[in-house]
A and B are shown apart, each in its own frame.
Chain A
Amino acid sequence: MLAKRIIPCLDVRNGKVVKGVNFEGIRDVGDPVVCAEEYNKQGADEIVFYDITASFEGRGVFLDVVRETAKKVFVPLTVGGGIKDVDDIREALRAGADKVSVNSQAVKNPQLIKDGADIFGSQCICVGIDAKKIADHKWTVYINGGRVDMGIDLIDWVHQIEKLGAGEICLNSIDADGTKEGFDIEMLKAVCDNCTIPVIASGGAGKINDFYEVFEKTGATAALAASLFHFKELTVGQVKDYCRNKGVIVR
């Protein structure tokens, strides 16, 4: 049986790991390559590197981080942030990433999903979505780190990206992100029930039972968290042991 995945995310700026709360108030927590090795030891099923650097110079440093990690850590690596076109995807894959996560740019230019999938295969195109609730059972898609509401219905967007060839969705709830009050079960359920590609739950993990809950109540095949693992409130291993004891299949 396919195991549920636990995915730590490393937000990287200028070659250092940082983590923002609600995308603001950034704190520095260290060397991303060392963090990735540690997560690998803990049993992380994949590792996400998110580039929150805006500069050209920062990008080089960021890709060096991916390159170094890929020599030491043999689990899938995903690169998110700063992917604007097919060349950026190629560059990330050449640096050792197995997948890229496209978010804002995919909303602005959905063709990027199709082009990426056609050239590199659907398996390496993960579409990141930041969404926020606007009414009962209704969410809209945001871009630019959750700052700009595009007014696009979440479920419509999910249908569209699936058709364009996305291989996976990483769904981040703006409402839940940084709250530590658990994943956004309602939104995740709505998305999982409306697509046939894998969905990674993101945003809101605060305690160990949140991971069990998201696997129990939604069709998410993976759960992602950043600060929780960075600040060592929980290890990936603890989360997996807990889920395993509750009957969830994990590696």
Chain B
Amino acid sequence: MIAIIDYGAGNIFSVKNALDYLGFESRLVSDKESIIAADSVILPGVGAFPAAMKKLEGTGLIDTIKSEAQKKPFLGICLGMQLIFDKGYEFEECDGLGLINGSVRKMEEPELIIPHMGWNKLEKLNDCPLMNGVGGNEYVYFVHSYKAHCEDKNISAYCEYGGRVPALVYDGKYVFGAQFHPEKSGETGLKILKNFGGLK
């Protein structure tokens, strides 16, 4: 069972719909036991970094998430991806989950239309099991105004938008983060979710 953490941030139904479509058993959960019992965990989220961290703190799940993410596949999506880094700087400095080293900052290149909204091409950088079967000319759907700053070794794929934007990050073990929305990225997104659902 894939646990989709429901902490009141974001369109969790889209993620559930995509997993249903792919035939994976999934549940929207907001309790520790379900996360511990799950085979893998997805942290979705849209909105602002500090507000989302506060909501997550409110659920009392942070310690559980941190420990389970060391034991089983864990995927943060969009804001959920940003939360896996050490710190965010949206309105104010705010601690993240610290699962991958790095920070999240406003995209500030001049002349750039913000939010970065639409389909952008995935450029592979490092091997990652979620990219299995994803070719060199595949697009995924992004919508965000902040981006991750992290080491290259953690970037599986990036896209170009006023410079490199980390699109898919990976700690090399269990923790994955997708800045884009795989559940809204057509066949390519479904492929990536299928790869995730198939991880042991």
Chain A interface (Cβ within 8 Å of chain B)?
A: 1-5, 40, 45, 70-72, 74-76, 93-94, 96, 98, 120-124, 167-168, 196-198, 219, 221-222, 251
A5 and B119 CA atoms in complex are apart in Å by 8
Task: Flag B180-200 by CB within 8 Å of A: 1 or 0 each.
Answer: 010111100110000000000
Asked if A1 and B184 make an inter-chain contact with CB atoms under 8 angstroms apart, the answer reads no
A120 and B44 CA atoms in complex are apart in Å by 13
Which residues in A have their C-beta under 8 angstroms from that of B117?
Answer: 123, 167-168, 198, 221
Chain B interface (Cβ within 8 Å of chain A)?
A: 11, 13-14, 17-18, 20-21, 46-48, 112-121, 139, 141-145, 159-161, 181, 183-186, 189-190
Asked if A3 and B118 make an inter-chain contact with CB atoms under 8 angstroms apart, the answer reads yes
Asked if A74 and B185 make an inter-chain contact with CB atoms under 8 angstroms apart, the answer reads yes
A96 and B120 CA atoms in complex are apart in Å by 22
Partner of A98 from the list B14, B112, B159, B186 (CB cut-off 8 Å) is B14
Partner of A196 from the list B46, B114, B119, B190 (CB cut-off 8 Å) is B114
Asked if A94 and B13 make an inter-chain contact with CB atoms under 8 angstroms apart, the answer reads yes
Asked if A120 and B116 make an inter-chain contact with CB atoms under 8 angstroms apart, the answer reads no
Asked if A2 and B119 make an inter-chain contact with CB atoms under 8 angstroms apart, the answer reads yes
Asked if A198 and B186 make an inter-chain contact with CB atoms under 8 angstroms apart, the answer reads no
Instruction: Give the shortest distance, in Å, between A80 (CB) and chain B (any CB).
Output: 16
* Given A2-B161, A76-B141, A124-B46: A70 touches B13 (CB 8 Å cut-off): yes
A76 and B17 CA atoms in complex are apart in Å by 13
Instruction: Give the shortest distance, in Å, between B100 (CB) and chain A (any CB).
Output: 23
A45 and B113 CA atoms in complex are apart in Å by 18
Across the interface, name the chain A residue whose C-beta is closest to B116: A2
Which residues in B have their C-beta under 8 angstroms from that of A93?
Answer: 11
Which residues in A have their C-beta under 8 angstroms from that of B21?
Answer: 71-72, 74
Asked if B118 and A221 make an inter-chain contact with CB atoms under 8 angstroms apart, the answer reads yes
Which residues in A have their C-beta under 8 angstroms from that of B13?
Answer: 70, 94, 96
A124 and B112 CA atoms in complex are apart in Å by 19
A197 and B20 CA atoms in complex are apart in Å by 34
Asked if A219 and B120 make an inter-chain contact with CB atoms under 8 angstroms apart, the answer reads no
Asked if B139 and A251 make an inter-chain contact with CB atoms under 8 angstroms apart, the answer reads yes
Instruction: Give the shortest distance, in Å, between B25 (CB) and chain A (any CB).
Output: 16
Which residues in A have their C-beta under 8 angstroms from that of B142?
Answer: 2
A251 and B13 CA atoms in complex are apart in Å by 25
* Given A1-B160, A74-B190: A121 touches B47 (CB 8 Å cut-off): yes
Instruction: Give the shortest distance, in Å, between A121 (CB) and chain B (any CB).
Output: 4
Asked if A75 and B118 make an inter-chain contact with CB atoms under 8 angstroms apart, the answer reads no
Partner of B119 from the list A71, A74, A120, A251 (CB cut-off 8 Å) is A251
Asked if B114 and A40 make an inter-chain contact with CB atoms under 8 angstroms apart, the answer reads no
A96 and B119 CA atoms in complex are apart in Å by 19
Instruction: Give the shortest distance, in Å, between A222 (CB) and chain B (any CB).
Output: 7
